[in-house]
Amino acid sequence: MSNSEERGDLVDSEEEDDLTNEVLDISAFHELLSMDDENDEDNEFSRGIVHNYLEQAKSTFADMDKALKDKDLSKLSSLGHFLKGSSATIGVKRVQDCCKHIQFLGKLHNMDGEGSVDEEEALKLIAKELRIGWVEYVKAKEFLGFFYETDFSD
């Protein structure tokens, strides 16, 4: 059995529900894995996409931290929207959810996109979502590193 098949079994195991709830949207991640060449045991294609995503996410979170310090709600909303889409592609759903909330809050909407909040409340909630997003990013990075048997550290 190849390494990629063994790792595929890991994702299909009885722990799938825990992984789905904790780190990844398994169906989105399987979709990404399906793009790998079936003869490529190292999953080069999806590994490259994941590596680029992790670099992009780290940079975008740093940009969001700066925008928060600058109280730039429009920039926060735009960056949240951008990283939300990238996260959805990989299946990093908790980062995706945090970014969706930041996108809405940056437009002075509630985290669900309905109703409104004032600027002070939006900034407070965005700070909280950013902290959560960073934590979820680290969890995803660790899991993906384990899955691909690589160290995605800088």
| pLDDT tens figures, 66-112 | 999 999 999 999 999 999 999 999 999 999 999 999 999 999 999 99
130-136 average pLDDT score: 97
Q: Per-residue confidence at 150, pLDDT binned at 50, 70, 90?
A: very high
- pLDDT at residue 118 in the model: 96
- pLDDT at residue 34 in the model: 94
Mean residue pLDDT across the chain: 88
Using CA atoms, how far apart are residues 28 and 51, in angstroms rounded to an integer?
16
Q: Per-residue confidence at 3, pLDDT binned at 50, 70, 90?
A: very low
22-40 average pLDDT score: 90
Using CA atoms, how far apart are residues 126 and 111, in angstroms rounded to an integer?
9
Is the pLDDT assigned to residue 12 strictly greater than 80?
Answer: no
Using CA atoms, how far apart are residues 52 and 46, in angstroms rounded to an integer?
10
What's the whole-model pTM score?
A: 0.85
81 within 8 A of 103, measured Cβ to Cβ:
yes
